[in-house]
C-alpha cells in the first residue's frame, strides 16, 4: 500500500531557483493538502484541493502555486525560491472532509533547504 | 492568528506516568478535533479524534477529554512508554470548512 508518496525526500535549492514538489496518492481521495512545517510552529496550510481542477489557498500561499489536473497528483510549485521557504513540506489526502470517520493521511515529507 | 493553542511546548514524563497535553480554541464552529502523532523523519499520523458532542473518547492508553463550555480539549496518555516519545499535534476543523488547522505541537519525551 503506497498511500501518499512525496518526491523528492530532500532537496537543496539556490535562491531564485524554482522546483516542483511532487505528491501522488493511490487511494482515490478527492481532498489533497500541502502543509509546511517549521520548528515550533506546527503545520501551516499552503494550498488545498477538493477535487481535480479545484484548488484554493490556505494560510500561507505566497510564493507557491499548485495544480490538480488528476485525482492522484497534486504538485506544489516554488517559483523564485527564497530562504524563508526552507522547511519540511507535507502532502496529505482524505476521501472527503476529514471527520472521525474520514482520516487524512500524510506523506513522509520533503525537506527543502534554500541557500 | 493562531486558532488552536497548544501547551506545553515540550514535556518529559517518567515511564509509566501520565502524559497530558492541552489545547484551547476560540472558534465555536469547529466540529472535529483530531490529535496527530509524529515521529522524527515521518509524516504526522492520526492518533485519535473526537466530535464536540462527546466529552471523552478512549482508545487503548490514549484518551481525549473535551470541554465544550471551556473550549478546551486534552490528550491523556496513560502508562506512558518510551515508544510514545514523539511530537503531538492537536488540530481542529470548522463545520463548513474543508481544511484542518494545527496547533504548534508538543514534543514528548518519556524517560526509560
What is the band of B11 on the pLDDT scale with cuts at 50, 70, 90?
very high
Measure A36 CA to nearest chain B CA, in Å. Answer: 11
Which residues neighbour A65 within 8 Å (Cβ) at sequence distance 6 or greater? A76, A77, A79
- Phi/psi of residue B82, nearest 5 degrees: -55, -30
Cα B50 from chain centre: 10
Residue B83's region, left for phi above 0, alpha for psi from -120 to 50, else beta, is alpha
Q: What is the DSSP letter of A102?
A: B
Whether B1 and chain A come into contact, CB under 8 Å, resolves to no
Between A48 and B96, the more confident residue is: A48
- Asked if B84 and B76 touch (Cβ cutoff 8 Å), the reply is no
What is the band of A99 on the pLDDT scale with cuts at 50, 70, 90?
confident
Cα–Cα distance for residue pair A100/B34, rounded to 1 Å: 8
What is the band of B19 on the pLDDT scale with cuts at 50, 70, 90?
very high
For A20-70, what is each residue's pLDDT tens digit? Answer: 999 999 999 999 999 999 988 889 999 999 999 999 999 999 999 999 999
pLDDT of B27 reads 85
Average pLDDT rounded to a whole number, residues B41-51: 93
For A2-28, what is each residue's pLDDT tens digit? Answer: 799 999 999 999 999 999 999 999 999
CA-wise closest residue to A75 among A3, A1, A2, A6:
A6
Could you identify the residue written with the cell 489526502?
A93
Average model confidence (pLDDT) across chain B: 93
Residue A33 with chain B: CB contacts under 8 Å:
99-100
List of E strands, B1-112: 4-7, 10-14, 19-25, 30-38, 45-50, 56-59, 62-67, 72-77, 86-94, 100-102, 106-111
Q: What is the DSSP letter of A85?
A: G
- What does DSSP say about strands A10-13 and A110-114: parallel, antiparallel, or unpaired? parallel
Nearest CB among B46, B89, B99 relative to A58 is that of: B99
**From A31, which residue of chain B is nearest by alpha-carbon distance?**
B98
Between A98 and B7, the more confident residue is: B7
Nearest CB among A31, A48, A90 relative to B43 is that of: A90
Whether A66 and chain B come into contact, CB under 8 Å, resolves to no
Amino acid at each position: 500500500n503506497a498511500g501518499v508518496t512525496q518526491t523528492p525526500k530532500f532537496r537543496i535549492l539556490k535562491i531564485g531557483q524554482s522546483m516542483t514538489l511532487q505528491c501522488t496518492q493511490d487511494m482515490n481521495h478527492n481532498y489533497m493538502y500541502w502543509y509546511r512545517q517549521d520548528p515550533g510552529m506546527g503545520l501551516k496550510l499552503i494550498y488545498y484541493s477538493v477535487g481535480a481542477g479545484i484548488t484554493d489557498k490556505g494560510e500561507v500561499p505566497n510564493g507557491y502555486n499548485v495544480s490538480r489536473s488528476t485525482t492522484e497528483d497534486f504538485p506544489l510549485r516554488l517559483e523564485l525560491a527564497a530562504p524563508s521557504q526552507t522547511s519540511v513540506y507535507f502532502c496529505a489526502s482524505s476521501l472527503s472532509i476529514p471527520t472521525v470517520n474520514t482520516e487524512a493521511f500524510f506523506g513522509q515529507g520533503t525537506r527543502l533547504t534554500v541557500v | 492568528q493562531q486558532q488552536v493553542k497548544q501547551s506545553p511546548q515540550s514535556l518529559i514524563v517518567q515511564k509509566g506516568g501520565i502524559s497530558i497535553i492541552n489545547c484551547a480554541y476560540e472558534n465555536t464552529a469547529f466540529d472535529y478535533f483530531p490529535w496527530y502523532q509524529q515521529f522524527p523523519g515521518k509524516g504526522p499520523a492520526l492518533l485519535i479524534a473526537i466530535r464536540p458532542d462527546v466529552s471523552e473518547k478512549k482508545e487503548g492508553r490514549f484518551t481525549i477529554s473535551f470541554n465544550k463550555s471551556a473550549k478546551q480539549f486534552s490528550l491523556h496518555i496513560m502508562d506512558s512508554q518510551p515508544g510514545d516519545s514523539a511530537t503531538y499535534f492537536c488540530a481542529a476543523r470548522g463545520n463548513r470548512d474543508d481544511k484542518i488547522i494545527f496547533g504548534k505541537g508538543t514534543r514528548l519525551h518519556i524517560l526509560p
